[in-house]
Amino acid sequence: MEIRIENLTKAYGDFKAIDNMNLTIADGDLVGLLGPSGCGKSTTLFMLAGLNKPTAGRIFFGEHEVTDIAPEDRGIGLVFQNYALYPHMTVEDNIMFPLINRKVPKNEARDRAYEMAKMVQLEGLMKRKPKALSGGQQQRVAIARALVKKPEVLLLDEPLSNLDAKLRVETREEIRRIQQEVKITTIFVTHDQEEAMSISDKIAVMEKGVLQQYEVPQKMYLNPGNLFVATFLGTPQINVFDAEVHDGKIYCAGNMLRSGCMVPDGSYKGGIRPESFNVTLLPSAPDAIRAEASHVRMTGRELQIRFNLGANEFRLLVHSDMQIGVGTPFYLTTREKQILLFGQDGKTVGKF
Ligand SMILES: Nc1ncnc2c1ncn2[C@@H]1O[C@H](COP(=O)(O)OP(=O)(O)OP(=O)(O)O)[C@@H](O)[C@H]1O
Ligand SMILES: [Mg+2]
């Protein structure tokens, strides 16, 4: 089911929690709705669910406008952060509950509950109560319960935030598998950029109630539309520095980083990701920049090195077998097409 959001706004008095949002989600896609705390992710999801009434704008599921349709008539499955299972009921009864509630005959409801349980790999646990399950298992019960009505849209609000790191990764892969198996259009709210990038067909990044960019993960990472999106995606964070452009050359604190850039002379914000440097211990090219490591951190696969160009601090990543310690001089160049320039308004001007 395609979801279309048109000019959606939610205001609380003068404050706009969502400001004129436009978004179309293709049938069968999983979209990660991503942004910092308070940016309006839950508000958006609640409006899609019908639990929160828009101040302005319209929502379509397929060709049908649902803006004023009651939540129970929208054909959605909802999963929240705190699984909200009924503690006194068994797993089986929890999953069957939405069907019993809809007066589906008990035998049929049970059959469908077992079908769902099989899909989320819970068959062996049907007679247990929620408190006898792990967090990840409880979350899968919540997903089975949301899917048992065969909704056409699945809405998940930070469904993994109660799980530990390892279980989070496992459960998100599980959610992706189930979503692709059922081919259900899904919106997955998270403030974890890595989580969003790893399971989404497309990501919608929001800040302060405004949709910043809507793109497939790799394209968004490589071609962020503005400084906010650039800094929100990626760990360690993209390096942001004061850039000067003269005659098509990009400088940072007098060091020439790149030539042949067709942008007007002037001051910009530059952005370069920690993985976008070439580092050698001897000068590799006439224009290689000499730098010195101020901090070195070993993370296993790679070394994280900090260095300065003037007042600008950078972090870079190199393979962990490189012999660089604090104070070691090294030479760097930047990889082709890896320097972003942002205008004074924060919008991306180009990539060089
Ligand atoms: N009933 C309300 N009255 C006034 N302001 C509200 C109300 N509900 C939400 N807000 C505000 O709207 C903004 C968006 O809230 P929302 O819950 O959508 O954020 P979120 O992106 O889900 O954040 P989080 O990641 O912390 O869950 C916040 O600034 C919040 O304080
Ligand atoms: Mg929220």
User: Tell me, what's the pLDDT at 83?
Assistant: 65
| Domain 239-351: assigned CATH number | 2.40.50.100
Q: Can you tell me which residue has the tokens 């059922």?
A: 182
Which segments of 294-347 are extended strands (E)? 295-298, 302-309, 312-319, 329-334, 340-342
| pTM, two decimal places | 0.92
C-alpha 93/C-alpha 100 separation (Å) is: 9
Q: Residue 266 carries which side chain, given as an amino acid letter?
A: G
Which stretches within 85-208 are classed as H helix?
91-101, 106-119, 135-147, 165-182, 193-199
In the chain, what are the domain boundaries? 3-226, 239-351
pLDDT digits (tens, 9 = 90+) for 33-86: 999 999 999 999 999 999 999 999 999 999 999 999 999 999 999 998 776 899
Report which protein residue has its CA nearest ligand 1's atom 31.
38
Ligand 1 pocket test: which of 9, 34, 37, 39 has the largest number of ligand atoms within 8 Å of its C-beta? 39
Mean pLDDT of the 148-160 span: 92
Pick the CATH number of 3-226 from 3.40.190.10, 3.40.50.300, 3.30.230.10, 3.20.20.70: 3.40.50.300
**How far apart are the CA of 314 and the centre of ligand 2, in A?**
32
Q: Ligand 1 in contact with 38 (CB < 6 A)?
A: yes
What pLDDT digit, counting tens, does each position of 231-253 carry? 999 999 999 999 999 999 999 99
Q: Which of 14, 41, 81, 207 to mutate to test the pocket of ligand 1 (most atoms within 8 A of CB)?
A: 41
Q: Read off the pLDDT of residues 171-202 as tens digits, 9 standing for 90 and up.
A: 899 899 989 998 999 999 999 999 999 999 99
